Structure 1
Amino acid sequence: MHLLHPADYVIVAIYLLVVVAVCVRVTRKSPDADELFLAGRSLGAGVIGLSLFASNISSTTLIGLPGAAWATGISVANYEWMAALVLVFTAVFVAPVLIGRRITTVPELLEQRFDARLRKYLSATSLLLSVLLDTAGSLYAGALVMMLFVPGLSLGPTCAALAVFAGLYTAAGGLRAVAYTDVLQALVLLVGSAILFVLVFGQFDYSWAQVTAQVPADKLSLIRPLDDPALPWLGTLLGLPILGFYYWTMNQYVCQRLLGARDIGTAGRGALIAAALKLLPLFLMVLPGAMAVALFSDLDRPDTVFPRLIGTFAPPGLAGLMIAGLLAAIMSSVDSALNSASTLVICDFVQPRRPRLDAKALARLGRYTTLGMMVLAALWAPAIDRFPGLFAYLQQGFAYVTSPLVAIFALGMLSKRLTANAALAGLITGHAVSAAWFVATQLGWLQVHFTIVAGVLLGVTLVAAWVWQALLGGRASAAQLASVDARHVAPAPAYVRLGALVLTAATAALVIAFW
Structure 2
Amino acid sequence: MTSAQICIMIAIIVYLIGMIYIGFRCSKKNNSTDDFYLGGRKLGPFVTAMSAEASDMSSWLLMGLPGVAYLTGISDAGWTAIGLAAGTYINWLIVAKRIRRYTHTCNNSITIPSFFSNRYRDEKKMLQVIAAIFIVIFFIPYTASGFAACGKLFSSLFGVKYLTAMIISAIVIVAYTTLGGFLAASTTDFIQSIIMSVALIVVLIFGVETAGGIGAVIHNASELPGYLSMTLSYDVNTGKAAPYSALTIVSTAAWGLGYFGMPHILLRFMAIEDEKKLKLSRRVATIWVVISLFVAVFIGVIGYTMSKVGALEMLTGSNSETIIVKISALLSQHGVIFALLAGVILAGILASTMSTSDSQLLAASSAVSSDILGAFRKDSSNKNGSMAAARITLLVISVVAAFIARNPDSSVFAIVSFAWAGFGAAFGPVVLFSLFWKRTNKWGALAGMVCGGSMVFIWKYLIRPLGGIWNIYELLPAFLIACAAIVIVSLLTPKPSKEIEEEFDRVAQMK
TM-score range relative to shorter protein: 0.7 to 0.9
2:57 corresponds in structure 1 to 57
Asked if structure 2 preserves the Cα contact closer than 8 Å seen for 1:51 and 1:180, the reply is: yes
Over 3 Å counting, the alpha-carbon distance change for 1:465 and 1:6 in structure 2 is closer
Aligned amino acid, residue 480 of structure 1: I
Is 2:507 the counterpart of 1:490?
A: no
Report the Cα distance in structure 1 between the residues aligned to 2:244 and 2:502, rounded to whole angstroms.
40
Asked if structure 2 preserves the Cα contact closer than 8 Å seen for 1:199 and 1:314, the reply is: no
Aligned amino acid, residue 325 of structure 1: G
2:310 corresponds in structure 1 to none
1:480 corresponds in structure 2 to 500
1:496 corresponds in structure 2 to none
2:283 corresponds in structure 1 to 272
Report the Cα distance in structure 2 between the residues aligned to 1:425 and 1:144, rounded to whole angstroms.
40
1:506 corresponds in structure 2 to none
Identity, in percent, stands at 21
* Aligned counterpart for 1:140 among listed residues 148, 159, 173: 148
For normalisation by structure 1, the TM-score amounts to 0.84
Asked if structure 2 preserves the Cα contact closer than 8 Å seen for 1:31 and 1:173, the reply is: no
Q: How does 1:8-407 map to 2 (within 5 A)?
A: 8-29=8-29, 31-74=31-74, 75-101=76-102, 102=104, 103-114=109-120, 115=122, 116-133=125-142, 135-154=143-162, 156-207=163-214, 209-215=215-221, 216=224, 218-222=226-230, 232-237=245-250, 240-241=253-254, 243-247=255-259, 249-294=260-305, 295=307, 296-301=313-318, 302-315=320-333, 316-357=339-380, 358-383=382-407, 385-387=409-411, 390-399=412-421, 402-407=424-429
Which segment drifts farther, 316-325 or 172-181?
Answer: 316-325
Q: Deviations over 1:324-354 (max 9, x none)?
A: 2122223212211112222232332223322
Aligned amino acid, residue 9 of structure 1: M
CA-CA distance at 1:26 after TM superposition = 2.9
Over 3 Å counting, the alpha-carbon distance change for 1:312 and 1:300 in structure 2 is farther
Aligned amino acid, residue 213 of structure 1: H
Aligned amino acid, residue 92 of structure 1: L
Over 3 Å counting, the alpha-carbon distance change for 1:403 and 1:240 in structure 2 is farther
Over 3 Å counting, the alpha-carbon distance change for 1:72 and 1:18 in structure 2 is same
Asked if structure 2 preserves the Cα contact closer than 8 Å seen for 1:400 and 1:438, the reply is: no
Over 3 Å counting, the alpha-carbon distance change for 1:38 and 1:418 in structure 2 is closer
Report the Cα distance in structure 2 between the residues aligned to 1:230 and 1:37, rounded to whole angstroms.
46
Report the Cα distance in structure 1 between the residues aligned to 2:330 and 2:279, rounded to whole angstroms.
41
Aligned amino acid, residue 58 of structure 1: S
Over 3 Å counting, the alpha-carbon distance change for 1:287 and 1:351 in structure 2 is same
Aligned amino acid, residue 131 of structure 2: L
Asked if structure 2 preserves the Cα contact closer than 8 Å seen for 1:2 and 1:148, the reply is: no
Report the Cα distance in structure 2 between the residues aligned to 1:123 and 1:350, rounded to whole angstroms.
10
Q: Deviations over 1:227-285 (max 9, x none)?
A: 998975444445644x43433x3322122222211121233422331111101223432
Aligned amino acid, residue 314 of structure 2: S
Report the Cα distance in structure 2 between the residues aligned to 1:384 and 1:308, rounded to whole angstroms.
19
Name the SS of the counterpart of 2:199 in structure 1: helix
Aligned amino acid, residue 92 of structure 2: A
Q: Deviations over 1:464-501 (max 9, x none)?
A: 4444456x53222223334543654534xxxxxxxxxx
Over 3 Å counting, the alpha-carbon distance change for 1:90 and 1:307 in structure 2 is same
CA-CA distance at 1:147 after TM superposition = 1.1
Aligned amino acid, residue 246 of structure 1: G
Report the Cα distance in structure 2 between the residues aligned to 1:423 and 1:435, rounded to whole angstroms.
19
Asked if structure 1 preserves the Cα contact closer than 8 Å seen for 2:85 and 2:286, the reply is: yes
Which segment drifts farther, 409-418 or 100-109?
Answer: 409-418
Aligned amino acid, residue 54 of structure 1: A
Report the Cα distance in structure 2 between the residues aligned to 1:41 and 1:183, rounded to whole angstroms.
16
Which segment drifts farther, 319-328 or 449-458?
Answer: 449-458
* Aligned counterpart for 1:421 among listed residues 421, 439, 443: 443
Which segment drifts farther, 406-415 or 325-334?
Answer: 406-415
Q: Deviations over 1:167-203 (max 9, x none)?
A: 0111111111112222221211111221011111112
Over 3 Å counting, the alpha-carbon distance change for 1:2 and 1:426 in structure 2 is farther
Name the SS of the counterpart of 2:61 in structure 1: helix
Report the Cα distance in structure 2 between the residues aligned to 1:466 and 1:298, rounded to whole angstroms.
48
Q: Deviations over 1:2-29 (max 9, x none)?
A: 9943222222222223223333333345
Q: Deviations over 1:42-90 (max 9, x none)?
A: 1101111121222123223322111111122233243344333333323
1:435 corresponds in structure 2 to 457
Over 3 Å counting, the alpha-carbon distance change for 1:119 and 1:238 in structure 2 is farther
Asked if structure 2 preserves the Cα contact closer than 8 Å seen for 1:440 and 1:446, the reply is: no
Report the Cα distance in structure 1 between the residues aligned to 2:504 and 2:78, rounded to whole angstroms.
33
Asked if structure 1 preserves the Cα contact closer than 8 Å seen for 2:38 and 2:110, the reply is: yes
Over 3 Å counting, the alpha-carbon distance change for 1:332 and 1:459 in structure 2 is closer
Report the Cα distance in structure 1 between the residues aligned to 2:427 and 2:2, rounded to whole angstroms.
43
Over 3 Å counting, the alpha-carbon distance change for 1:24 and 1:308 in structure 2 is same
Name the SS of the counterpart of 1:476 in structure 2: coil
Aligned amino acid, residue 165 of structure 2: T
Query: Aligned residues, how many?
Result: 481
Over 3 Å counting, the alpha-carbon distance change for 1:347 and 1:235 in structure 2 is farther
Report the Cα distance in structure 1 between the residues aligned to 2:232 and 2:505, rounded to whole angstroms.
40
Asked if structure 2 preserves the Cα contact closer than 8 Å seen for 1:81 and 1:278, the reply is: no
Report the Cα distance in structure 2 between the residues aligned to 1:2 and 1:142, rounded to whole angstroms.
21
1:455 corresponds in structure 2 to 476
Aligned amino acid, residue 498 of structure 2: A
Report the Cα distance in structure 1 between the residues aligned to 2:415 and 2:15, rounded to whole angstroms.
30
Report the Cα distance in structure 2 between the residues aligned to 1:37 and 1:359, rounded to whole angstroms.
13
CA-CA distance at 1:221 after TM superposition = 3.8
1:512 corresponds in structure 2 to none
Aligned amino acid, residue 297 of structure 1: M
Q: Deviations over 1:298-337 (max 9, x none)?
A: 4342333232222234442222122221222232122111
Asked if structure 1 preserves the Cα contact closer than 8 Å seen for 2:261 and 2:423, the reply is: no
